[in-house]
Amino acid sequence: MIKIKPALSLTDFKSISKLADIIWLEHYISIISLEQIEYMLIKYNSVQALEDQVNQGFLFFCITYNNIPVGYLGVKKEIDFLFLSKLYVLNDYRGKKIGKAAMQYVTELTNSFQLKKVILHVNKFNTSSILAYKKMGFIKTKEIVTDIGNGFIMDDYEMVKAIEN
CATH number of the domain to which 65 belongs: 3.40.630.30
Instruction: Output the pLDDT for position 152.
Output: 97
Predicted TM-score (pTM) of this structure? 0.95
Strand, helix or coil for residue 18: helix
Contact of 128 with 99, CB cutoff 8 Å: no
Query: DSSP letter string over 29-65?
Result: TTTS-HHHHHHHHHHHHSHHHHHHHHHTTEEEEEEEE
Task: Provide the angle, in degrees to the nearest 10, between the axes of the packed helices 47-55 and 34-45.
Answer: 50
Q: What is the pLDDT of residues 24-80, one digit of tens each?
A: 999 999 999 999 999 999 999 999 999 999 999 999 999 999 999 999 999 999 999
CA–CA separation, 142 vs 47, rounded Å? 31
Residue 93 structural domain:
2-162
Say what the pLDDT of residue 156 is. 98
Task: Examine the pLDDT at 84 and tell me if it is beyond 90.
Answer: yes
Buried b (16+ CB within 10 A) or exposed e, 49-71: bbeebbeeebbbbbbbbeeebbb
Each residue's pLDDT tens digit, 19-40: 999 999 999 999 999 999 999 9
Return phi, psi of residue 56, to 5°: -95, 5
Q: For 88-143, write each residue's pLDDT tens digit.
A: 999 999 989 999 999 999 999 999 999 999 999 999 999 999 999 999 999 999 99
Total structural domains within the chain? 1
